[in-house]
Amino acid sequence: MAPRPDEGERFLDALKASPRPGAPPASDDAAFLHGVGERLRLLRARRGMTRRILSRQSGVSERYIAQMEAGGGNVSILLLRAIARALGVPATDLLADQPEHAADTALLDDLLARLTPDQRREARALLARHFGAQPHPGRATRIALIGLRGAGKSSLGRRLAEQRRVPFYELDREIEREAGTELREIFELHGQGGFRRLERAALERLLATGSGAVIATGGSIVADAATFALLLSHCRTVWVRAAPEEHMQRVLDQGDLRPMQDNRQAMKDLRAILASRESLYARADHILDTSGQTLDESVNALVTLLK
């Protein structure tokens, strides 16, 4: 059992008070802790988890998580393991420093940084064509919509499926069907790891049918590398995006007031989630911006995009 947060905080105080023999310079320690905090914040944001939710699922105090993300938490191994389990990742994902890039990799990174978003997608397609796994034969008949909640994926997906005369699926509903319970209970009972396993199983079941379909995915599917790779290889993907303010307003218009329960942090959290996932969403084949558009306008733009 992970120690209680107050024990972890006493452990931190003890470490600060007792220099370790042979420890690296303090500046190196600070840089390492800062890196751990950055990785924790990124992993949490990609999963759309607030500090409060992570605290509840890990048993680690919200204050201590905030301290870690600020680079000031010299966390114990047991607390780190509890946080990693709540995030559904190995503890090494929080600890591992980024390896040094080889010269060729650094040159590629520099080249890609100079490209426009459209050029980067073209470059990725070229590399995948020459060096990656071959796309699934049924990929062209399946369309998957990705993006944050409130972008319009479900409304667009239903209309697109009607036009293409194929089934429409909301992946979150398929996950609930897989589990026999609602998403909220899935997270409460099984945590992030259990949800990811069910998400993968539901997607594999849909893809196994081999027929055309339109699939609206959950916003955090990009946080699981293996499941997202499966989606990219088996479906043409469209990133449905909108301005953060429109994302929030559309969710509220649906009658879901949860985003405003912590009004001061709601938009800040949404922007952080979007920023952490932007490079992953950008791996989609197409990007559709629905900001300021009616549903009919967005549907027409999507149909044109897919042609």
**pLDDT, tens only, 227-271:** 999 999 899 999 999 888 887 877 777 665 554 455 567 777 788
Residues 124, 185 share a domain: yes
Binding residues for substrate: 172, 196, 219, 277
CA distances to 44, 63, 66, 225, 295 from 220, rounded to whole Å, are: 11, 25, 22, 11, 23
Residues 245, 127 share a domain: yes
Domain span at residue 50 reads 5-95
Asked whether residue 103 is assigned to any structural domain, the reply reads no
Asked whether residue 128 is assigned to any structural domain, the reply reads yes
Residues 182, 53 share a domain: no
Residues 141, 27 share a domain: no
Residues 161, 216 share a domain: yes
Is 177 or 101 the better-scoring residue by pLDDT? 177
Binding residues for ATP: 150-155, 258, 293
The mean pLDDT value of the chain amounts to: 80
pLDDT of residue 132: 60
Q: pLDDT tens for residues 162-181?
A: 999 999 999 999 999 988 88
Residues 292, 159 share a domain: yes
Alpha-carbon 77 to chain mean position: 25
Binding residues: 150-155, 172, 196, 219, 258, 277, 293
State phi, psi for 298 to the nearest 5 degrees: -70, -40
Binding residues for Mg(2+): 154
Residues 131, 79 share a domain: no
Residues 152, 9 share a domain: no
pLDDT of residue 109: 72
Please tell me the total count of domains within the chain. 2
